Amino acid sequence: MLVFYESNKELTRKPYFNSVAEGPLNVSRWTDYYYEDILAINFSADQNIAWQKVLHKKQFSQDDDGLFSSFFVLSTSDYLRIIFNDEIKNESTVSEYILLPTGEYLRKSILNTTSQNLYLRIKDAVQINANTLLVPSESNGKMNLVRISFEE
């Protein structure tokens, strides 16, 4: 059995300036979302920990409910691909960890979104075969699907 745990936290704060619309029922607040390291723990058949790894990532966003944060696990017969946005912004890089059954891993960049107007919602992706996933991209109230395919 393989278990993933993602460190995430939410911080709500009040702006230092007075909001025009502020009142007892309408208090202006900012919410920061932090989605950070992934802990992967592999349990053996006898329920002991066979290995555990920390896969480092740092994602920060504000007032988006963490919609573009977190990760997706693409499963192949030989390994797992843990896919995530490096930064939560329009021009970013999508990266992956290739995780082998032994716990060894490799991190690499797989996609650059510069000048493509993509805000990828990686955690909402759908795997359509061993090498392909569909990822929704939401920008300016418009939804697009992005197909990401890997060559073997």
pLDDT at 21 over 70: no
Taking only the tens place, the pLDDT of each residue in 50-73 is 999 999 999 999 888 888 899 999
Taking only the tens place, the pLDDT of each residue in 42-56 is 999 999 999 999 999
Domain that holds residue 118: 2-149
Enumerate the β-bridge partners of residue 39.
Answer: 5, 54
Quickly count helices (H) and strands (E) in the chain. Answer: 0, 11
Counting residues of the chain whose pLDDT is more than 90, the rounded percentage is 66
* Number of structural domains found in the chain: 1
Instruction: Count the neighbouring beta carbons within 10 Å of the beta carbon of residue 32.
Output: 14
Q: What is the mean pLDDT of the chain?
A: 89
Rounded distance, CA 120 to CA 59, Å?
Answer: 13
CA 121 to centroid of chain Cα atoms: 8
First to last CA, the chain: 25
